Amino acid sequence: MSDSHVKPPPEEAAGLGAALSTAKVTATMGVVRGVRTLLRLNQQGGFDCPGCAWPEPRERSFFEFCENGVKHVADEATPLRADAEFFANHRVEQLAEQSDEWLNAQGRLTEPMVLREGATHYEPITWDDAFALVARELSRMATPNAAVFYTSGRTSNEAAFLYQLFVRQLGTNNLPDCSNMCHESSGTALKEVVGVGKGTVHLEDFEVADAIFVIGQNPGSNHPRMLTALEAAAKRGCQIVAINPLREPGLVRFSHPQHYESLLARGTPIATLYLQVRIGGDAALLRGIQKEMLEQEIRAPGTVLDRAFIDEHTAGFDALARAVRATPWETIEEQSGLSRAEIREAAVIAMRSERTIACWAMGLTQHKHSVATIQEVVNLMLLRGNLGRPGAGLCPVRGHSNVQGDRTMGISEHMPAAFLDRLGREYDFDPPREPGFDTVASIEAMLAGKVSVFFAMGGNFLSAAPDTDRTAEALRKCELTVHVATKLNRSHVVTGRRALILPCLGRTELDLQDGAPQFVSVENSMGLVHPSQGRNAPAGDRLRSEPAILAGLAKAALGSKSKVDWDALGSDYDRIRDGIAHVVDGCADYNARVREPGGFYLRNGARERDFAGSGGRARFSVNELPSLELRPGELLMMTVRSHDQFNTTVYTQNDRYRGISGNRRVIFMNEADIAKLGLAAGEEVDLVSHWQGEERRAPAFTIVPFSVPRRCTATYFPEANPLVPLGSYADKSRTPTSKSVVITIHKRGG
Ligand SMILES: Nc1nc2c(c(=O)[nH]1)N[C@H]1C(S)=C(S)[C@@H](COP(=O)(O)OP(=O)(O)OC[C@H]3O[C@@H](n4cnc5c(=O)[nH]c(N)nc54)[C@H](O)[C@@H]3O)O[C@H]1N2
Ligand SMILES: Nc1nc2c(c(=O)[nH]1)N[C@H]1C(S)=C(S)[C@@H](COP(=O)(O)OP(=O)(O)OC[C@H]3O[C@@H](n4cnc5c(=O)[nH]c(N)nc54)[C@H](O)[C@@H]3O)O[C@H]1N2
Ligand SMILES: [Mo]
């Protein structure tokens, strides 16, 4: 790419660059609307940021948003429109050739559109006809299990609850969601060993922690408001350990863009210790830290372990200690790529800290051994009783702003029997019990011709899923694909035999039903449930809210089979919340509690050292360390996000903190690997992935030298998704292994 260039990454994140970039984005919304919209972002009585799920502090600063939150809001509040005229002017075939960035940049969707069988263009359709079309296709299926209902994580609690009710009344549990590709490994791991599949810390805990481990996470770009908490912690002397193959500027230094004085200063150093672990080497590193701790306990008994906690609240310590002793240092050093001295430094921080928090995100969840690795985090934390007391605990940092709430509301292919019992009782029907398809199983079923209707509540299934070419083939095999969406994306233009786009209101917009303003509710990464209400004029007068769309569709599709008054639910969300109160665990009196100032926390047993969910005790677990063997010439590739994207929505071709501009088709490599393979910085190469004898190829990636361990590389998601094999997913959680793809690098066309 001639107009692309690579600069050395900056030494600090945010700061003046972020402030300038925020100003630029506000300008695209129009100044007055922009400023008004931003002032309502993450404020009480305002709307929840559609970006990440990081919580808002109780004492909210007037500007409780980050540079990237501004981009996500601006993207929704754009004045541009992809309306009927736009679709009349573009063949679907042409649209499919455009980039994700171009598709998104066409603006907000404004009216329901249909792609009829054999047609070249989408054309307008009325809402009623659209619902009738879906209903007809659903009624033709031999079994309700021939339909798949995907959810992305922006969907509100009210919409999610209504959605799963509709799908279960239809008779299937085929409710895959983005969580299957995201924190599923965290949920699975934590449920097994501490009984609750969610994090145990609250934001206040960051104010008193002595040490914070940030593992496999890039908060500078993906959870920028978390940096505010880390900055404050660093300033009061809290030790922050970053564990990441890439040296991420946001974890090295941070200057708060809204603190005028720090714009001028050099920023606060964040990480006290930065361990550049090999990709997938975290389990070995965590084992090493435990080994140092157990050895120190033998040298000075009673100084390291929290014996009282271990005896009273845990099971399996002896087996763990044996496994740790039996793991040789050579294995630990080789698999982690770190020296014993480096590992010892982390162990010393862990041993000196009375209150430790462990945070993690996709760097831990998207590997074959993710569930076991996350359980090693738990092992480490249990040794010193860092669970269920102030300043200590487990903190999987969620992605999508309401991905955790969607799960709480029943968006899952396998909800517990107790939930289904209550749902059936509340709405007088017999919910299906057979587990449904998760994301990978959905794609496999579509490929096998077992699915005729694919319906998506938000998201961009095609670009987010692994193995882009096979997922495209899977979607093309459906009779009907339907997307409820705000913006145009690739999943709308690679379709089944027929397709629908149903445009919906976004977070920032006023939702009127029967003339009465409605609000919705969401759950953040720390289990806090609170309202969200938009005030902007909707992007078009034919848009409907997600709950209204679901109510209309359910009524058309279920007809007299359903005893639910769908019109009532779709027109007054208090009625949906009454149902939530009766069905969802921990949500009694939901309407009243969600209206309390600041919302309310869902109960989390593990936070109170109540381990009923894991048999009465927290469990140490013994896991085999993954062996990461590469053949000669092979490298491991992780797919990561840039600073200028939200998942599959690409805002620009730049990644400021990593020094990239004008090109996302890059591969970050260790300099010594570049030399060894006879390649050069700036050279364009083809990437080939290898899995069980299968090869997948993606052309034209530019080599960028970067600070990363030998044989570890990084590319961007979603550009590199064609290389992620569909069959390669995590044990137990079935999350695609987007962070450990085995590749070889080839001269162009070679
Ligand atoms: N601006 C913005 N915000 C977002 C998103 C976005 O796209 N843009 N997406 C949202 C969503 S849905 C999610 S899930 C989160 C994602 O947030 P993150 O998890 O922070 O995102 P990623 O870029 O996928 O990967 C994170 C880091 O994992 C590291 N990593 C990769 N492999 C390994 C490994 O084996 N070990 C270790 N220790 N580290 C590893 C990478 O170097 C990278 O720094 O962000 C949410 N917030
Ligand atoms: N290789 C690789 N693949 C990955 C990942 C990775 O790290 N590497 N990360 C995975 C992760 S963590 C996740 S969460 C998934 C994300 O997967 P998805 O959630 O499916 O993808 P998004 O890009 O977040 O979805 C964007 C689309 O959502 C629609 N949208 C936006 N706001 C709204 C709204 O308010 N309502 C509705 N109905 N629609 C809306 C818009 O049309 C937009 O185009 O991708 C996964 N895929
Ligand atoms: Mo995610």
User: How far away, in angstroms, is 648 Cα from ligand 2 center?
Assistant: 6
Pair 569, 487 in one domain: yes
- Where a domain ends, among 396, 428, 453? 396
How many Å apart are CA 153 and CA 457, to the nearest integer? 9
Q: What DSSP string runs through 391-428?
A: T-EEEE---BTTHHHHHHTT-SSS--HHHHHHHHHHHT
Residue 138 CB contacts under 8 Å (≥ 6 apart), including other chains: 144, 147, 170, 453, 557
Pair 382, 417 in one domain: no
pLDDT band at 50 (very low <50, low <70, confident <90, very high): confident
Pair 270, 213 in one domain: yes
The reply to whether ligand 1 has any atom less than 6 angstroms from the CB of 639 is: no
376 alpha carbon, distance to own chain's centre:
21
User: How far away, in angstroms, is 455 Cα from ligand 2 center?
Assistant: 15
Ligand 1 atom closest to the Cα of residue 248 is: 44
Q: In terms of DSSP bridges, do strands 453-457 and 480-485 run parallel, antiparallel, or are they unpaired?
A: parallel
pLDDT in tens, 631-649: 999 999 999 999 999 999 9
Pair 483, 445 in one domain: yes
The reply to whether ligand 2 has any atom less than 6 angstroms from the CB of 181 is: yes
State the average pLDDT for the chain: 92
The reply to whether ligand 2 has any atom less than 6 angstroms from the CB of 49 is: no
Does residue 629 fall inside a structural domain?
no
420: which 2 tokens?
Answer: 């289904």
List the CATH number of the domain containing 438. 3.40.50.740
The reply to whether ligand 1 has any atom less than 6 angstroms from the CB of 327 is: no
pLDDT in tens, 666-684: 999 999 999 999 999 999 9
List the CATH number of the domain containing 643. 2.40.40.20
Instruction: Count structural domains, the chain.
Output: 4
> Is 241 within 8 Å of 348 (Cβ atoms)?
no
- Pick the residue whose CA is nearest to atom 2 on ligand 1: 222
> Is 660 within 8 Å of 704 (Cβ atoms)?
yes
The reply to whether ligand 1 has any atom less than 6 angstroms from the CB of 718 is: no
- Where a domain ends, among 27, 56, 76? 76
Does residue 729 fall inside a structural domain?
yes
- The mean pLDDT of 393-404, rounded to a whole number, is 94
The reply to whether ligand 1 has any atom less than 6 angstroms from the CB of 167 is: no
Residue 387, pLDDT score: 98
Q: At what angle are helices 15-29 and 31-39 packed, to 10 degrees?
A: 120
Pair 528, 654 in one domain: no
- Which of these, 91, 133, 85, 134, lies nearest to 111 by C-alpha position? 85
The reply to whether ligand 1 has any atom less than 6 angstroms from the CB of 556 is: no
CB atoms within 10 A of CB 28: 14
pLDDT band at 749 (very low <50, low <70, confident <90, very high): confident
Pair 145, 262 in one domain: no
Whether pLDDT at 723 is above 80: yes
Pair 376, 469 in one domain: no
The reply to whether ligand 1 has any atom less than 6 angstroms from the CB of 310 is: no
Does residue 607 fall inside a structural domain?
no
CA distances from 149 to 175, 421, 423 (A): 5, 21, 18
Q: Rg (Cα) of the chain, in Å, rounded?
A: 25
Residue 124, pLDDT score: 98
716 alpha carbon, distance to own chain's centre:
15
Nearest ligand to the CA atom of 397: 1
Q: At what angle are helices 468-476 and 439-447 packed, to 10 degrees?
A: 60
User: How far away, in angstroms, is 637 Cα from ligand 2 center?
Assistant: 21
User: How far away, in angstroms, is 360 Cα from ligand 1 center?
Assistant: 9
- Which of these, 739, 736, 732, 724, lies nearest to 694 by C-alpha position? 724
Does residue 620 fall inside a structural domain?
no
pLDDT band at 3 (very low <50, low <70, confident <90, very high): very low
How many Å apart are CA 601 and CA 441, to the nearest integer? 33
The residue range of the domain holding 643 is 635-747
Q: At what angle are helices 573-583 and 417-427 packed, to 10 degrees?
A: 130
Residue 629, pLDDT score: 86
Question: For 3, which DSSP code?
Answer: T
How many Å apart are CA 98 and CA 705, to the nearest integer? 29
- Where a domain ends, among 361, 396, 431? 396
Pair 248, 312 in one domain: yes
pLDDT band at 15 (very low <50, low <70, confident <90, very high): low
Q: Is 615 helix (H, G, I), strand (E, B) or coil?
A: coil
Ligand 1 atom closest to the Cα of residue 178 is: 12
Residue 364, pLDDT score: 98
In this prediction the pTM is 0.95
95: which 2 tokens?
Answer: 């649209």
Nearest ligand to the CA atom of 51: 1
Whether pLDDT at 10 is above 70: no
List the CATH number of the domain containing 296. 3.40.228.10
The reply to whether ligand 2 has any atom less than 6 angstroms from the CB of 185 is: no
266: which 2 tokens?
Answer: 């050099």
Ligand 1 atom closest to the Cα of residue 366 is: 32
Lowest mean pLDDT among 47-56, 414-423, 723-732: 47-56
pLDDT in tens, 436-472: 999 999 999 999 999 999 999 999 999 999 999 999 9
Pair 409, 340 in one domain: no
The reply to whether ligand 2 has any atom less than 6 angstroms from the CB of 188 is: no
